[in-house]
Amino acid sequence: MIGHVLKMLWQGRRKYAGVLMEQMLIFIILMISMAALFEAINKYREPGLLNTDNAMIFGYMLHGGGNGSLDDMRELGRGIDIVIEKLRKESFVEAITKSNGLAPYLRSDVYYDEMFADTVKVDGKSVGVIVKFADKEAERVFHPELEEGGWITDNVLEDGSRPAVVSRQLMDKLGWTEAMGKRLYMRGHTLIVVGISPGVKQNVFSDMPTTIIIPRDEEQLSAYEECCAKIKPGYEDEFHACFSKEYKRLGLAEKAVSFCYEMSGLKRGSMFEVVSGVAMRAIPTAFLLLFAFIGTFGLFWLNSKKRKVEFALRLVVGATKPRLINLVVMESLILSVLAALPGMVLFGFVYDWTGVNVAAIGMTLIVMVLFAVFSAWWPAYKVAQVNPVEAMREV
């Protein structure tokens, strides 16, 4: 049947040329949109995204966004510590952590590179890393994923060294197959690896940087610390009210403006640029696909009507109605396959043949197959119901 269909398409090549060109354009545009969509989905599903469900971030911002005096900042820090101790006693608060550079969605990737970049040294090698400061409560708040070992529990170990959780990316750069218990050197400190993380993402669609997580160091931290709380579901308003009350009671509002946000909102905000970019591709593509479907449907509808006599003759000589329908659908499928070939060649030059991109082009082919089937099946079905005697009278 395929050879017969190809011969028919060649004979009607002028008639089908416009449809072929249209489907080539649709395939290329759809392929680009699918590649962007699948890349975003793959980034979202990568490990390393901290769990911020039912998490609140709270703290203060200095008036005018500037730097206050050292005494003011120390006073604010002591005040926040008092607020945290009060909040920890509330029944709806499960855990509170203070960190720096760990809480996601707060900064751009460029900011992390500028503010938290450092170098670790081991075995004569120096590797650039992004340093994140955390405490043991961060495990209960963010539930970080660990491949091996455990989370930071103490600031200083018995031998005077400090614990560290390293990312898989750091291990790969150092050429390590095993990391537990190994020593690293940074900022004059000896670090011992107590845990291995698959990575820590700073934003939903960010690449995972080479990361090392160490205990908070009061002397090296900046004035601003990330205070995050894990609360019971549905208690966001109660937490906000309690924080605001204590903040005002201690007179901290005179020195700085307080803030308290749900981290789920920050997560959605960090996704906006990528999601909107995918949507900006997907929406026009969907409309283009719809209009092309209508055009192709109309073409096959008119073509099938013109072939009413041909269909009647085929029925007379023994063809079945399902076979006639399959014949027309096969024409549409072959057109779609021919239209896809240039797009697949272009794909090979523009994209790498990764699993994500192969899945994207596979989904594009599935959409085009469905497009081809549904645009041709109904016209063919209606015309296949023709009465051969009546059709022959119209000749």
Instruction: Tell me: pLDDT of 209 over 90.
Output: no
**pLDDT at 237 (0 to 100):** 94
pLDDT score, position 194: 95
Q: Quickly state the pLDDT bin for 84 (edges 50, 70, 90).
A: very high
Mean pLDDT of the chain: 82
Give the least confident one: 115-124, 133-142, 174-183, 341-350: 341-350
* pLDDT at residue number 18: 66
Is the confidence at residue 380, as pLDDT, over 50? yes
| Residue 321 predicted with pLDDT over 90 | no
**pLDDT at residue 312 tops 70:** no
What pTM did the predictor assign?
Answer: 0.76
Q: SS in 3 state form for the chain? A: CHHHHHHHHHHCHHHHHHHHHHHHHHHHHHHHHHHHHHHHHHHHHCCCCCCCCCEEEEEEEEHHHCCCCHHHHHHHHHHHHHHHHHHHCCCCEEEEEEEECCCCCCCCHHHHHHHCEEEEEECCEEEEEEEEEECCCHHHHHCCCCCEECCCCCCCCCCCCEEEEEEHHHHHHHCCCCCCCCEEEECCEEEEEEEEECCCCCCCCCCCCCEEEEECCCCCCCCCCEEEEEECCCCHHHHHHHHHHHHHHCCHHHCEEEEEEEHHHHHHHHHHHHHHHHHHHHHHHHHHHHHHHHHHHHHHHHHHHHCHHHHHHHHHCCCCHHHHHHHHHHHHHHHHHHHHHHHHHHHHHHCCCCHHHHHHHHHHHHHHHHHHHHHHHHHHHHHHCCCHHHHHHCC
Residue 10 has pLDDT above 80, yes or no: no
What pLDDT, in 10s, does the model give residues 151-188? 998 788 888 889 999 999 999 999 898 999 999 998 88
Q: What's the confidence (pLDDT) of residue 129?
A: 92
pLDDT at 377 over 90: no
Q: Work out the pLDDT band at 221, boundaries 50, 70, 90.
A: very low
pLDDT tens digits, 245-281: 999 998 888 888 889 999 999 998 888 888 888 888 7
pLDDT at 219 over 50: no
Using 50, 70 and 90 to split pLDDT, how confident is the model at 208?
Answer: confident
The predicted pLDDT at position 91 comes to: 95
